[in-house]
């Protein structure tokens, strides 16, 4: 698609008056520089799914550029790639390679996307943060990491070395759902069976 056509589309959506801070845009892959500025200038909420975009050959969403332009960018999963820790790693690593800059997308920015900014994209003000009055949604992650943990490298190492299996405990709205790797008040085998049955219905298998 030519740059002229892209710009014409940008101007068309702006002329409709449908873009503002309540707009949520999914994926946002293959944006032109002009589109990046429009997304930022309107404070649009963006959800990025880096591994899903790779799976379908869609390319890389210009996340650092959108953040600099003023957009709120949250992190999500989509399609077959539903491992959120893998999405964390994808967001952390892909833009370093794309921009040829190891300083791009530092760990603190990726965790911000995965927590507070993801909540903000959904219009939630009481989630994604730990503070008085916020919903007590918390996970505890094992810190048995292969390299020394320091304040300056903790967030990076959690992204690179941890996965769902390393989630020790889960609290939702102040209620423990999992403690010390044990799922509480539920039968994991039954949950997996119900999930598999629902997936089969969804896919019509």
Residues 43 and 66 in one domain: yes
* pLDDT tens digits for range 45-91: 999 999 998 888 888 999 999 999 999 999 988 877 889 999 999 99
Domain extent at residue 80: 1-124
Residues 28 and 77 in one domain: yes
Q: How far is CA 104 from the centre of its chain?
A: 16
Residues 62 and 85 in one domain: yes
Closest CA to 48 of 102, 112, 124: 112
Produce one character per residue of 82-101: b if its CB has 16 or more CB atoms within 10 Å, e if not: eeebebbbbbbbbbeebeee
Rounded to an integer, the average pLDDT of 91-107 is: 95
Residues 106 and 141 in one domain: no
The tally of domains found in the chain comes to 2
Q: Which long-range contacts (CB under 8 A, 24 or more apart) does 174-181 make?
A: 174/135, 174/136
Residues 10 and 84 in one domain: yes
Between the two ends of the chain, the Cα-to-Cα distance in Å is 38
**What distances in angstroms separate CA 136 from CA 21, 159, 163, 171, 183, one per listed residue?**
26, 22, 21, 7, 18
Residues 80 and 166 in one domain: no
The last residue of one of the domains, among 124, 153, 187, is 124
- The per-residue pLDDT for 10 is 57
Residues 90 and 145 in one domain: no
**Number of C-beta neighbours around residue 138 at 10 A:** 12
Residues 104 and 172 in one domain: no
The enclosing domain of 194 has a CATH number of 2.30.40.10
Q: Per-residue pLDDT for 159 more than 90?
A: yes
Which residue matches tokens 């794309």?
98
The enclosing domain of 1 has a CATH number of 3.20.20.140
Residues 94 and 179 in one domain: no
**Banded pLDDT at 177 (limits 50, 70, 90):** very high
**Banded pLDDT at 5 (limits 50, 70, 90):** very low
Token pair listed for 42: 């309107």
The last residue of one of the domains, among 124, 146, 165, is 124
Helix (H) or strand (E) holding 34: helix 33-41
* Residue 115 DSSP label: I
- The per-residue pLDDT for 205 is 63
Residue 36 to residue 150: CA distance in whole angstroms: 35
Q: Per-residue pLDDT for 2 more than 60?
A: no
* pLDDT tens digits for range 127-141: 888 888 888 899 999
Residues 200 and 176 in one domain: yes
Q: Per-residue pLDDT for 183 more than 80?
A: yes
Token pair listed for 188: 């994991």
Residues 137 and 174 in one domain: yes
Residue 103 to residue 22: CA distance in whole angstroms: 31
């Amino acid at each position: 698609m030519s740059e002229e056509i892209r710009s014409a589309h940008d101007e068309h959506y702006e002329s409709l008056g449908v873009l503002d801070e309540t707009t949520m845009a999914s994926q946002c892959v293959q944006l032109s520089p002009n589109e990046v500025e429009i997304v930022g200038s309107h404070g649009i909420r963006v959800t990025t799914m880096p591994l899903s975009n790779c799976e379908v050959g869609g390319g890389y969403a210009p996340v650092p550029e959108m953040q600099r332009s003023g957009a709120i960018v949250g992190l999500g999963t989509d399609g077959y790639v539903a491992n959120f820790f893998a999405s964390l790693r994808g967001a952390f690593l892909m833009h370093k390679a794309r921009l040829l800059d190891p300083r791009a997308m530092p760990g603190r920015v990726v965790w911000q996307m995965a927590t507070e900014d993801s909540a903000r994209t959904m219009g939630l003000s009481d989630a994604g943060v730990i503070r008085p009055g916020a919903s007590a949604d918390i996970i505890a992650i094992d810190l048995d990491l292969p390299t020394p943990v320091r304040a300056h490298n903790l967030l990076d190492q959690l992204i690179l070395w941890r996965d769902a299996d390393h989630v020790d405990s889960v609290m939702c709205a102040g209620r423990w759902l999992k403690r010390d790797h044990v799922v509480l008040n539920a039968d994991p085998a039954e949950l997996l069976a119900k999930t598999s049955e629902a997936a089969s219905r969804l896919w019509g298998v």
